[in-house]
Amino acid sequence: MESVKINQNIKVAVDAIVFGYSNNALHVLLVKQKFGALKNNWVLAGGFVKDGETLYEAINRELREEAGIQVTYLEQLYTFGDDIHRDPRGRVISVAYFALLNSTELKLSADTDAKDAKWVPLDKIPKLGFDHNQIIQVAYERLKSKLTYQPIGFDLLPKEFLFSDLENLYCNILQKQIDRRNFRKKILSFGLLEETEKFSSEKTGRPAKLFKFNKKKYNKLHKEGFNFEIKFA
C-beta of residue 93 within 8 angstroms of C-beta of residue 78: no
Q: What are the chain's domains?
A: 11-147 (3.90.79.10), 152-223 (1.10.10.10)
Burial 117-148 (b: 16+ CB within 10 A, else e): bebbebeebeebbbbbeebbebbbeebeeebe
Is the pLDDT confidence value at 202 over 80?
no
Cross-strand partners of 98 = 17, 75
Concatenating the DSSP letter of every residue in 161-224 gives EEHHHHHHHHHHHHT----HHHHHHHHHHTT-EEEEEEE----SSS--EEEEE-HHHHHHHHHT
Question: For the segment 69-88, what is each residue's pLDDT rounded down to a tens digit?
Answer: 999 889 999 999 999 999 99
Question: For the segment 18-76, what is each residue's pLDDT rounded down to a tens digit?
Answer: 999 999 999 999 999 998 888 999 999 999 999 999 999 999 999 999 999 999 889 99
User: Mean pLDDT across the stretch 196-204?
Assistant: 78
Residue 10 is classified by DSSP as -
C-beta of residue 165 within 8 angstroms of C-beta of residue 148: no
Strands 193-199 and 161-162 come out as unpaired
Question: Mean pLDDT score of the chain, rounded to an integer?
Answer: 92
pLDDT at 164: 94
Number of H-type helices and E-type strands within the chain: 5, 10
pLDDT at 16: 98
Q: Cβ atoms within 10 A of the Cβ of 79, count?
A: 11
Alpha carbon distance 45, 31 (integer Å)? 6
Question: For the segment 91-102, what is each residue's pLDDT rounded down to a tens digit?
Answer: 999 999 999 999
Nearest CA to 130 among 12, 15, 9, 10?
Answer: 15
